[in-house]
Amino acid sequence: MKVVWTPEAEQDRDEVWEYIAADSVAAAARMDQLFSDTAARLVDFPELGRPGKIAGTRELIPHDNYRLVYEIDGDTVWMLALIHTARLWPPLRD
């Protein structure tokens, strides 16, 4: 298995970094490392997360405040989104 962050998930991750780093770069680095470590665990245990709210996805909570949404496709774990747990998920569609 390999883990690939989609551009959308990378953008989410960058936004989390910027938000936390505004107060503490060290805290942002620790949180980002937590996201990396959690995603890396999926290499060996891709079904570690619970079934997601969107069909075909799975969700993992690496920290009380964040949800990683991913899907498994063959030998790849696609990181789809990194969402603050206070935000509505899945987002409403127009």
Mean residue pLDDT of the chain comes to: 94
List of residues 6+ apart from 27 with CB closer than 8 A: 20, 21
Domain of residue 56, CATH code: 3.30.2310.20
Q: What is the domain extent for residue 57?
A: 2-84
Give domain status of residue 48, yes or no: yes
Q: Using one digit for the tens of pLDDT, what is the confidence trace for 4-50?
A: 999 999 999 999 999 999 999 999 999 999 999 999 999 999 999 99
Distance CA 71, CA 46 (A): 9
| Residue 26 in domain | yes
Q: Is the residue at 37 inside a domain?
A: yes
Residue 89 confidence (pLDDT) above 90: no
Please give the tally of structural domains in the chain. 1
Look at residue 34 and tell me if it is in a domain.
yes
Instruction: Report d(CA 12, CA 8) in Å as an integer.
Output: 6
Q: Per-residue pLDDT for 1 more than 90?
A: yes
Under the banding of pLDDT at 50, 70 and 90, the label for residue 94 is low
Residue ranges with strand state E in the chain: 2-5, 50-51, 58-63, 66-73, 76-84
The amino acid sitting at 81 is A
